[in-house]
A = this chain, B = another copy of it.
Amino acid sequence: MDDGITLEELQLAARNHGLPLESVRDPITPAGLHYLLIHFDIPAVDPRSWRLQVGGLVERPLELSLEDLRTRSARTLPVTLECAGNGRVLMPPRSLSQPWLTEAVGTAAWTGTPLAPLLAEAGLGEAALEVVFTGLDRGIQGGVEHDYERSLALDDAMRDEVLLAYAMNGEPLPVQHGFPLRLIVPGWYGMTHVKWLRAITVVSEPFTGWQQEHAYRIHRSEDEPGVPVTRMLPRSLFAPPGIPDFFDRSRVVAAGPCMLEGRAWSGFGPIVRVEVSDDGGETWADAELEDDAPEFAWRGWTFEWNATPGEHELLCRATDAAGNGQPASVEWNLGGYCNNEPQRARVLVS
């Protein structure tokens, strides 16, 4: 972090929140602890009058009620969601936005109906190129008034695992997580999973809405077109051991064996390795991976740490099956996206 956080950033941090790090012990995050980023306001929706419009380049436009969606074939997937801006504050000079540290993540069991059969039912036009997802939330960002909207290339939208979700952890979506319906695109950063869905529109040209063209791009200046943010880079988090100091969150741990518990995830494939350092990243040792993780959810790991008296800085880092890891230092970008440098925790062993 460089300069102190501004009033505007604090306003966002007071509304939104991360996962309390001790909760990374839970394979499924309770709804109230799951990270949350709301760009504009939470819309008030009457589920009786709400409808999903499926239109654009389709042969048979659809208008679906929540009941219509609930009676279609359903699938439940545990999915890890992470904000693309996770780690933003730790990437100076800082992009002024939601000031995330490392905990903008959560894993819930999302239940919904697969998108692909619904698009097939509507009948895709031959010129179909992308699918645009529009939320009911509206506001101003970068000086432009707009509904929150994002698109996916047709191939990405048609993947089996893409859901229109109406339940989270077995309950109707909480209002702050998109009631009555949100998009779930397993493996992708959080901006993709459009909340409070009102319309799905098939288009023949690349979508150029503000949240697609201006936000969520990796570049070093506004002049560079940059590369869009898509799938989650690997990251691992652990529950800081021992007990915390209220204010600075440093930890006190008793000397002796100390079981560290954490979870790791990647949008590019299964996690195949997690390593832990207790000396600020000088040396690393392998953690033990839990056997099976669902395809799109984080994978648990443990590390039996021999806590020796003195001050330690604990870190962890993950590697996925595609060979992606967590570098000690990530190259800066303007929006503060995709900073997957390792988590650090200061621990005093006594």
Contact = CB atoms under 8 A, between A and B. Distances in A.
Contacts of A10: 1, 5, 13, 89, 99, 101
Copies of chain A in the complex: 2
A145 B252 contact: yes
Nearest to A243: B139
Interface string A1-36: 101111111111111111011110100001111001
A322 interface: no
Interface in A88-146: 89, 96-97, 99-101, 103, 138-141, 145
A138 B243 contact: yes
Given A14-B99, A15-B103, 9 more contacts: A8-B249, A15-B17, A20-B42, A23-B175, A33-B175, A33-B176, A40-B244, A41-B244, A139-B246
Contacts of A100: 14
In the A-B complex, list the 8 residue pairs whose CB atoms are closest, starting with the nearest.
A4-B4, A32-B32, A5-B5, A17-B17, A141-B246, A13-B13, A22-B41, A14-B18
B96 A247 contact: yes
Nearest to A33: B176
Given A4-B5, A41-B20, A252-B140, A247 B12 contact: yes
A60 interface: no
A42 to B, nearest CB: 6
A248 interface: yes
Contacts of A7: 1, 89
A141 B245 contact: yes
Interface residue range, chain A: 35 or more
Interface of A: 1, 3-18, 20-23, 25, 30-33, 36, 38-42, 44, 89, 96-97, 99-101, 103, 138-141, 145, 174-177, 243-249, 252
29 contacts: A1-B7, A1-B10, A3-B4, A4-B4, A5-B9, A7-B89, A11-B248, A11-B249, A12-B249, A14-B100, A15-B21, A22-B42, A30-B175, A31-B31, A32-B32, A32-B36, A32-B174, A32-B176, A33-B176, A39-B246, A40-B243, A40-B246, A96-B247, A138-B243, A139-B243, A139-B244, A140-B246, A140-B252, A141-B246
Contacts of A4: 3-6
A31 B168 CA distance: 14
Contact of A14 (B32, B101, B246, B252): B101
Contact of A44 (B25, B40, B139, B252): B25
Given A9-B5, A20-B176, A174-B32, A247 B14 contact: no
Contact of A41 (B101, B243, B247): B243
A73 to B, nearest CB: 28
A72 B96 CA distance: 52
